[in-house]
Structure formats: structure tokens, C-alpha cells
Structure 1
Amino acid sequence: MALVGLNFTKISAERKGASENVRVESNVAITNVIEAKMPDPKKTILKFQFLFTSKFEPNIGLIELNGELIEMYDKDLGGKILEGWNKSKSLHKDVAPRILNAILAKSNIEAIIMSKELGLPSPIQMPKVEVKPKAASSVDKSESKSESKIEKDKKK
């Protein structure tokens, strides 16, 4: 198994309005799996076509990313994956997490960029730093530790 490529084929983003309480629902779905031509008869190339969406509710925005992830497999495994898709429209349990995680990694980054350009909230909850007040004695101790570290650095 080797990742050959991951490309977007269509990018769409829309902002419809504004709201204070925005919920973001993101989803990725594999829409099709097709076999591509490969000169090596021992290998199979599969294209996993996908649709990634981020919906900003209540109906204030939508980001849609269509694309395809291309992977190369040994002929046997590639055949099993394609056969499973054609029968049940679901991915083989051994490859689904890796494929979906690769799609999510690239799609989420693109969705963050697009949401910023449109003035929509980030589709991913970003980490936030919170400062909690400490007791006076523990603040004094941490300050003295910082001071002593600075003094040590000056001596070097």
C-alpha cells in the first residue's frame, strides 16, 4: 500500500449570513472507488473519490471539497478492496481508517483557510489557553523559579 496522491477536483465555499451561535458539522464520505490503469500487472491503483463538507448552522455557510485519493496496492488486496466496494459500497476495515484520516487531514486544512477567507468560524475547534488564578504563595514560588532560571542563564 502506497499513497500516490490526494487532490481536490472541486472546491466550493459559500457564506449566506451571520449568526452568534454557530454549529459546525463536518463530514467525509467516499462516493466511489475505481481502478486506474497500471503498467505493472502485479499492482493495482485505486482512486477513492470523496466529498468533504463543513456545514455552518443555522444555514449560514457551506464548504464542499470533492477530490480523490490515489493508492497503489498489490493486485490481490486491490482486487478485494474494489470487490468489497462494488458489493456493499463500504471500505475494507483494514484500509478505511488510513484513507479517511488522510482525506480529513488535507480537507480540514483547506476548510480552515476557506472559512477564514469567508469570515466563518473555523470548522475545527482550535486549542485555547486559559489562565487560572493561583494562590498567592504558588505565584510567588513560580516567579522565583523563573527569576532563578534567568539568573543562571546570565551566568553562562
Structure 2
Amino acid sequence: MAILGHNIIRVEFEKNPVPGGQVEVSLNPKIEELRLGEINLPNGKVKGIEVELTYNIIYSPEVGKGMIRMIVFYLPRNREDVDNILDNWEKEKKLPGELVAEVVNFANNLLIPFAMMITKEMGMPSPIPIPRVVVRQ
């Protein structure tokens, strides 16, 4: 159904002194843990799934690194699926594709601009390429 809330719980960025040159950046979101959660809404409490996600930003060569950890409150379309999703996670560490897509897309939309702001302030390369205009003769 939707992401009803989020909480950034840890942010770490480190800059290393490395000579210039071509830098490659890898963005790696990883779902670490799932657990039963509850959120207060105006019409009462709703049970859903708390998804703990770590978002790693890795540079090659190692000009730095970044990590953002967050918790996302996910509510499946069918509320009865909450128990099934948590049971499958506990038994096999498997997740439905819809949950993964929803959570990772939400994290990308929220964390990439956040990471761009932090890396700019620290003088590090942007985690995604910024379009550049080139004048041709």
C-alpha cells in the first residue's frame, strides 16, 4: 500500500585524502531487518512492518564512504499480509518484490538528495552524476 513513515537513525560520511582522477560511485541499499510495528494515525493505531534499511555509498578509488541507516514503516495493500511477510522473512529471509521496490524507491527519493547535500558540504564527489553542459564549436 504505502510508506506511512520513516526515521533516519544514523548518518556517517568519511572523506579520505586521495589524488584526483576518475571516481566511480556505487549506491547499495540493503534491507537489514523486518519487525512488526505500530503507528498512530488520526483514525487510530495501525499495525504494519518496520523495515530497517542501510544505504551505503562506496567510492572507487576510496575518496570516502557514506552510510545512512533508516527505518521505514510499510503497510501492505492487504493488511492480513503483514504476518505472512514477517513469517517468510524469519524462515527464509525472502521478501515480496512489491515491498522491496516500494522501500528502495522511497529510500532513493529521500536519501540521494540528502547524500548530495552532505557530500557537497564535505567536498566529496556527488553520489550521482550531475548533468553538465558542454559548448561545442
Flag whether TM exceeds 0.5 (same fold): yes
3-state DSSP class of the match of 2:134? coil
Distance 1:77 1:43, change over 3 A: farther
Partner amino acid for 2:123?
G
Q: Kindly report the root-mean-square deviation, in angstroms, between the aligned alpha carbons of the 2 structures.
A: 2.3
Write the distance in 1 (CA, Å) between the matches of 2:67 and 2:39: 30
Task: Please state how far the C-alpha of 1:116 moved relative to its aligned partner.
Answer: 0.6
Task: Please state how far the C-alpha of 1:104 moved relative to its aligned partner.
Answer: 1.4
Task: Please state how far the C-alpha of 1:72 moved relative to its aligned partner.
Answer: 2.5
The answer for the alignment partner of 2:25 in structure 1 is 24
3-state DSSP class of the match of 2:22? coil
The answer for the alignment partner of 1:49 in structure 2 is 52
Write the distance in 1 (CA, Å) between the matches of 2:25 and 2:88: 32
Write the distance in 1 (CA, Å) between the matches of 2:89 and 2:136: 51
Task: Please state how far the C-alpha of 1:43 moved relative to its aligned partner.
Answer: 5.1
The answer for unaligned runs of 5 or more in structure 2 is none
The answer for the alignment partner of 1:33 in structure 2 is 34
Instruction: Give the strand-richer structure, 1 or 2.
Output: 2
How many residues of Structure 1 are paired with residues of Structure 2 in the alignment? 133
Which structure's relative contact order is higher, taking Cα pairs within 8 Å and 6+ residues apart? 2
Write the distance in 1 (CA, Å) between the matches of 2:38 and 2:46: 10
Partner amino acid for 2:80?
D
Looking at CA atoms only, which structure, 1 or 2, has the larger radius of gyration? 1
The answer for unaligned runs of 5 or more in structure 1 is 134-156
TM-score of the pair, normalised by structure 2: 0.84
Instruction: Give the helix-richer structure, 1 or 2.
Output: 1
TM-score of the pair, normalised by structure 1: 0.75
